[in-house]
Structure 1
Amino acid sequence: MKSSDGLLETALMRAVFDSLGAGVFVTDTTGRLTACNPRSQQLLDRPQEQMLGQDMHDLLHRDRDGSPVPRGECGLMAVLESGRPAEGSEELFLKGDGSLVPIIWAATPLRHEGRTEGAVVVFHDFSLHRDAAEQTAAYLAALEGLTARLTMVAEVSTVLISTLDTTEMLGRLTGLLVPDMGDWAAIDAFVQGEAKGLRRVAVRTAGDRPEAETLTGPLPALDESKGSAVMQALRKARHVVLDAEALAEEPDSPLGRAHRELFDRLGGSCAVVMPLHTRRQVFGALTVARVAPDSSYTDAELFMLTDIARRAGLVMEAAQLFEQQRHVAETMQRQLLTPLPQVDHLNLAARYRPAESAAEIGGDWYDSFLLGDGVLTMVIGDVVGHDLKAAAHMAEVRNMLRALAWDRTEPPSLIMRRLDEAMTHTSDAPMATCVFARIEGPEGGPWQFHWVNAGHPPPLLITAEGQARFLEGGHGPLLGLSSALHLGLGWPDARADLPPESTLLLYTDGLVESRNRDIEAGLASLRRHAAALAGLGIEDFLDALMRRMDPMGDDVALLVLRLPPAGLPADDVAPPQHAHSPAAGNRGAPGSRIEDTPVRDTSEPA
């Protein structure tokens, strides 16, 4: 019975040995192969006859170049010496056809009746696992590269929309490209207002080398050279790749030599010149270069640089359109802000400051004219909206008000009602705010302010002694609201006495309200500053008030009236000292000026 059980056990173990899905070797204490299963023969493409009796290490173990591995460095043989199990995945076995196969293995001493009689080695073909691992690593590397590119594109997009100042934007852009995309970057752009003038507006180097700044400035005129990389990029609106051979060629034009100076001063073994363009226009060229020998740009990098250049071109086009819109709107507003009338007993002055951004150009206006009965009018208004259309609607509302006021001698309340109806039935102008007033009284005074207010900030009256108060009366709905909605609302006439030598100020909400200041705080600040400046001449009063209020963002219009002393016509009063001469845009009108102020980043705190 025992004999039968031993035979069965031996047969079972042999079946396991032969059926195991891994290669199995059995060696004696010297490393010679004493058994090998069928799977090992398949993996190594060697029949049993070629392996049994052979030294396993000498027969199979090889280095990556195919040379034998020193016996002392063999981890499998170390198991026989140490008597301890071991495993590894860096070994290569020599197949019967002479090729090498990477293996993952585990070896353990073979013990029988307390003695070590050899070793058992189990191994697999590791090439499939290694290929999968390498593929996974490649995918991860590609994913990391894609993430890095997307991050850069996101950063570039943020920079491109951070300012409407094109030169500043392009300078920030080169800062993002260096050193990730090149050792240096430069941008040559057409300068708005200069006929076909090309200027190097930005140069950025790794480490911010001092010579970079000296390379900016005007560039030679465009030429017909076909060899200049910049000209090729500008004319064909396609990128140009420069390798070492192309960079070794002698430039054949002034523009080409100006471009070559970048490489002479900053170095470079390869570069790419990208056009900054849209479908309609080319705005300039971006050059990105690498200095290390044998460096180059991959297709993925060229694709990303092309995308960045395209985005920059779109932003430059948007900035150009904004500037054109701004210019049109400003020109329209300058033409509509007519000279102030010269009245022999009253002094008038005005200011208009355009919005700091083309997107904020709006419908603010002031006006003053004499009616048929000799009464002086004062108007301040603001049409809803901040674009060129708002400026056009402002012109429409302003002209309707002039015509209605001249047509009949009526109280301001009736003029405002007819303007509201006219806007509703004859115009597509949206809602608007407005103060319309008559300055009534005999030549020597006393004078009275007779007005209505259609949803506009209240006029401010400042006495000669510096007492300031807002005139809150006369309030009614915004223009374009009551008649359109059939509300039947009106505008009550209000009256206020104007003391001798007092100052009456009309203004738009851009003076007192901004992103950084609510209107209540702005009104309080206006009242305080106006009271402190009451002793200044009318021109100096306006200039100092604008400086102190420092309006930001929206456009601003101001209209101010200064009363003469009691019983004394203005003809007998010394003219006020003007801080500046009237602007040319006002056609010589006394006391009226449009301020040309530099565009400023409205994200900065006031």
Structure 2
Amino acid sequence: MTDTLGVWKIASIADAARARAAVDHAATTGAAPALERARLLASLTERLRRCLAHGAAWELLLEFRPAATEPGGRLDVSLRPLDPSAPRPDDTPLACLLTRPPAHTGRRAGTALPEALLRADENTAAVLGLLQEQEKLVELHREELHQTNQGVLALHADLEAAALAQRELLQAEQNARAEAERARSLLTFLGDASAAITASLSHDAILRRLADLLVPEYATHLDVWLFEEESDGGQAGAVREHTAAAVVAARTGRPQYASDRPRGLPGIGDLPPSALSPTRPVLAIPLRARRLVGVLTLTAPGAAGFDADTSVMLIELARRVGVALENARRYEQYRDTAETLQRAQLTDLPATPGMRLAARYLPASQGMNIGGDWYDAFRQPDGSLLAVIGDVTGHGLHAAVVMGQLRTALRAYAVEDHSPADILTKLHRMLRHLEPELYATAIVARFRPGEERVVWASAGHPPAVVRGADGTVRTLDAKPGVMLGIPVPCTYTDHVDELTPGSTLVLYTDGLVERRAQGIDPGIERLVQAAGTLGTPELEQDPDAAADALLKPLLYDSEHDDDVCLLLCHVMTGGEHDAEG
């Protein structure tokens, strides 16, 4: 409930003074705090001054709004013009909290004007007192703030020192991490590069991979000087020019660094700039295995040259390259010897009346390239032809030697006019006795003049393929005997199949049809399809071209990791009168 304490009309300064005195009296009797009372009166005075400046008559309304539960309340002072059309500069009521109800002033406020003037000084004194107390508090806080500032400054100095130390530690850690990451990167590169280089046993492939690995990240150019090639006359008798660093490295067996600024790299000699590369440093590293095989010369990718870590990595890589090159050289010598031995075992095909023969031997496109595959064809005293194809397990000289032994033994057994099955039985016993750790597959076929059939026996060998005179193709799928040399006794069986004029018997080793990812059956099916495309005129006029045509769809579109032997035995349609081989 609102209690109206009074209403005053204000048209002059005197009216304003009496109204102000009335508000002062109400605030004083309502026990308003001195500071609140002074704030209220100051605001009221300012508002009265603005009202008088407008020149119209105003009305001041003084009201008390009691609190709901406490004895005090709120004193509200409102000013509004008596003329509704007059402007209202500010009609928001002024308010002041009271601790008890104020005394009613009515319209006798003029009698309280002297008291209001005296209380104005009291209000000012109260405000000044509060200001003095606040100044003391401010001074106290200023001193506390000064002490705090001193502590903050000292703390900032400590924090700055700690931050500097932390930055230095962080930088040191980042540098250590960067060095560790670079070392890891160099080791990873060394491992990957070593695996790529040692995966090949070819000089040319090793050098190509080395160039691909080092250029352009570690060198803008590299040169490999191999002493053995130069002693053999090089390529087309060309004389190669080498840097002085490479020559010194070859003479001393120690890496050399040629640059206008000595680097003092560990284990590396310093030389003046190279005449062949005056603007960029050159690093010459000996290639060493059990002997010094050459020098690797690298031109730096930038003017800064090679750092210590990179130089150590390159020296180790060069050591592994030297070993790989030496292994490749020894392998090539070993391969050439074995291949020469194996090819010496492959005989020329005999001229046989009524037949055309063609054979192909292809070493593996990967790996050692030397295996135990062989073919043979020879005539016997009774005029019959014996055709043989076989495969000794394993690769290398040992397999080639065993293959030669089997070929020689087979010819010896054939002189005694044994059947294909008897020959294989004797070979089986011989291999079990001489080479218990090696096995072999073989198929032997006998053709007699005037007989339109072939007698054959197989020891674990892939089935032969027959192309008939009408172009149909079939496999000789009778169950073969065990592989030669298997540690079990075995007596092989002869099989007889029709082979009319115009027909072709295709003998082959598993390297022609077997692929690791697919097995052997899909390859045999491809061979059957390829044999069906051959024509009888082609087989009789140019059996060698027919053999190439048969190989092409099976091998030339992919690499093979085993040797391949192929033997074509074609029965002429013209009978015995054509005796060309």
Normalising to structure 2: TM-score of the pair?
0.66
Work out whether residues 474 and 492 of structure 1, in 8 Å CA contact, stay in contact via their aligned partners in 2: no
Q: Among 286, 290, 304, which residue is 1:275 paired with?
A: 286
**What is the rounded CA distance, in whole Å, between the counterparts of 1:229 and 1:219 in structure 2?**
21
Which position in structure 2 is the counterpart of 1:342? Answer: 351
Work out whether residues 468 and 527 of structure 1, in 8 Å CA contact, stay in contact via their aligned partners in 2: yes
Q: What are the superposed Cα offsets for residues 309-349 of structure 1, whole Å, 9 maximum, x if unpaired?
A: 11112222222233222212211111000111222232222
Alignment partner of 1:457 is 2:462: yes
Q: What are the superposed Cα offsets for residues 382-412 of structure 1, whole Å, 9 maximum, x if unpaired?
A: 0001223222221122222222222x22222
**What is the rounded CA distance, in whole Å, between the counterparts of 1:309 and 1:373 in structure 2?**
64
Work out whether residues 286 and 292 of structure 2, in 8 Å CA contact, stay in contact via their aligned partners in 1: no
**What is the rounded CA distance, in whole Å, between the counterparts of 1:236 and 1:144 in structure 2?**
34
| Cα offset, 1:499, TM superposition | 0.7
Which position in structure 1 is the counterpart of 2:255? Answer: 239
Residues 567 and 361 of structure 1: is their aligned pair in 2 closer, same or farther, counting only changes over 3 Å?
A: closer
**What is the rounded CA distance, in whole Å, between the counterparts of 2:533 and 2:189 in structure 1?**
52
Alignment partner of 1:149 is 2:156: no
Which position in structure 2 is the counterpart of 1:84? Answer: none
Which position in structure 2 is the counterpart of 1:376? Answer: 385
313-322 or 431-440, larger mean C-alpha shift: 313-322
| Cα offset, 1:192, TM superposition | 7.2
Which position in structure 2 is the counterpart of 1:512? Answer: 513
Structure 1 runs not aligned, ≥5 long: 1-110, 200-216, 247-255, 576-589, 591-606
**What is the rounded CA distance, in whole Å, between the counterparts of 2:317 and 2:420 in structure 1?**
57
| Cα offset, 1:362, TM superposition | 0.9
Alignment of 1:61-210 (within 5 A): 113-115=140-142, 116-118=145-147, 119=149, 120=151, 121-122=154-155, 123=158, 126=162, 132-182=169-219, 184-190=220-226, 195-197=231-233
| Cα offset, 1:288, TM superposition | 3.1
Report SS of the residue matched to 1:557: strand
Alignment partner of 1:501 is 2:502: yes
Residues 364 and 429 of structure 1: is their aligned pair in 2 closer, same or farther, counting only changes over 3 Å?
A: farther
Alignment partner of 1:220 is 2:257: no
| Cα offset, 1:436, TM superposition | 1.3
| Cα offset, 1:377, TM superposition | 0.6
Work out whether residues 234 and 282 of structure 1, in 8 Å CA contact, stay in contact via their aligned partners in 2: no
Alignment partner of 1:424 is 2:429: no
Work out whether residues 284 and 298 of structure 2, in 8 Å CA contact, stay in contact via their aligned partners in 1: yes
Q: Among 310, 324, 327, which residue is 1:318 paired with?
A: 327
Q: What are the superposed Cα offsets for residues 43-75 of structure 1, whole Å, 9 maximum, x if unpaired?
A: xxxxxxxxxxxxxxxxxxxxxxxxxxxxxxxxx
Q: Which amino acid aligns with 1:520?
A: D
**What is the rounded CA distance, in whole Å, between the counterparts of 1:405 and 1:193 in structure 2?**
48
Indicate the structure with greater helix content.
2
**What is the rounded CA distance, in whole Å, between the counterparts of 1:488 and 1:172 in structure 2?**
51
Report SS of the residue matched to 1:510: helix
> What RMSD in Å do the two structures reach over aligned CA positions?
3.0
Work out whether residues 367 and 561 of structure 2, in 8 Å CA contact, stay in contact via their aligned partners in 1: no
| Cα offset, 1:495, TM superposition | 0.7
Alignment partner of 1:446 is 2:454: no
Residues 179 and 339 of structure 1: is their aligned pair in 2 closer, same or farther, counting only changes over 3 Å?
A: closer
Q: What are the superposed Cα offsets for residues 72-113 of structure 1, whole Å, 9 maximum, x if unpaired?
A: xxxxxxxxxxxxxxxxxxxxxxxxxxxxxxxxxxxxxxx984
Which position in structure 2 is the counterpart of 1:71? Answer: none
Residues 449 and 195 of structure 1: is their aligned pair in 2 closer, same or farther, counting only changes over 3 Å?
A: farther
Query: Which protein has the larger Cα radius of gyration, Structure 1 or Structure 2?
Result: 2
Report SS of the residue matched to 1:334: helix
Work out whether residues 451 and 474 of structure 1, in 8 Å CA contact, stay in contact via their aligned partners in 2: no
| Cα offset, 1:245, TM superposition | 6.8
Which position in structure 2 is the counterpart of 1:52? Answer: none
Alignment partner of 1:473 is 2:478: yes
Q: What are the superposed Cα offsets for residues 230-283 of structure 1, whole Å, 9 maximum, x if unpaired?
A: 22223433211111279xxxxxxxxx9xx844x26xx41x22111223123414
**What is the rounded CA distance, in whole Å, between the counterparts of 2:437 and 2:355 in structure 1?**
33
**What is the rounded CA distance, in whole Å, between the counterparts of 2:401 and 2:414 in structure 1?**
20
**What is the rounded CA distance, in whole Å, between the counterparts of 1:396 and 1:528 in structure 2?**
35
Residues 316 and 142 of structure 1: is their aligned pair in 2 closer, same or farther, counting only changes over 3 Å?
A: same
Alignment of 1:253-292 (within 5 A): 260-261=275-276, 263=277, 267-268=279-280, 270-292=281-303
Structure 2 runs not aligned, ≥5 long: 1-137, 263-270
Alignment partner of 1:562 is 2:570: yes
Work out whether residues 323 and 358 of structure 1, in 8 Å CA contact, stay in contact via their aligned partners in 2: no
Which position in structure 2 is the counterpart of 1:63? Answer: none
Residues 117 and 131 of structure 1: is their aligned pair in 2 closer, same or farther, counting only changes over 3 Å?
A: closer
Work out whether residues 381 and 434 of structure 1, in 8 Å CA contact, stay in contact via their aligned partners in 2: yes
Report SS of the residue matched to 1:384: strand
Alignment partner of 1:489 is 2:525: no
**What is the rounded CA distance, in whole Å, between the counterparts of 2:340 and 2:203 in structure 1?**
22
Alignment partner of 1:229 is 2:245: yes
Residues 173 and 432 of structure 1: is their aligned pair in 2 closer, same or farther, counting only changes over 3 Å?
A: same
Q: What are the superposed Cα offsets for residues 109-136 of structure 1, whole Å, 9 maximum, x if unpaired?
A: xx98433224112327647656644543
Work out whether residues 353 and 576 of structure 2, in 8 Å CA contact, stay in contact via their aligned partners in 1: no
Residues 491 and 191 of structure 1: is their aligned pair in 2 closer, same or farther, counting only changes over 3 Å?
A: farther
| Cα offset, 1:352, TM superposition | 0.8
Residue identity (%): 32
Count of residues in Structure 1 that have an aligned counterpart in Structure 2: 418
Q: What are the superposed Cα offsets for residues 117-173 of structure 1, whole Å, 9 maximum, x if unpaired?
A: 241123276476566445433422221121111122133124314544433432332
Q: Among 329, 336, 339, which residue is 1:330 paired with?
A: 339
Normalising to structure 1: TM-score of the pair?
0.63
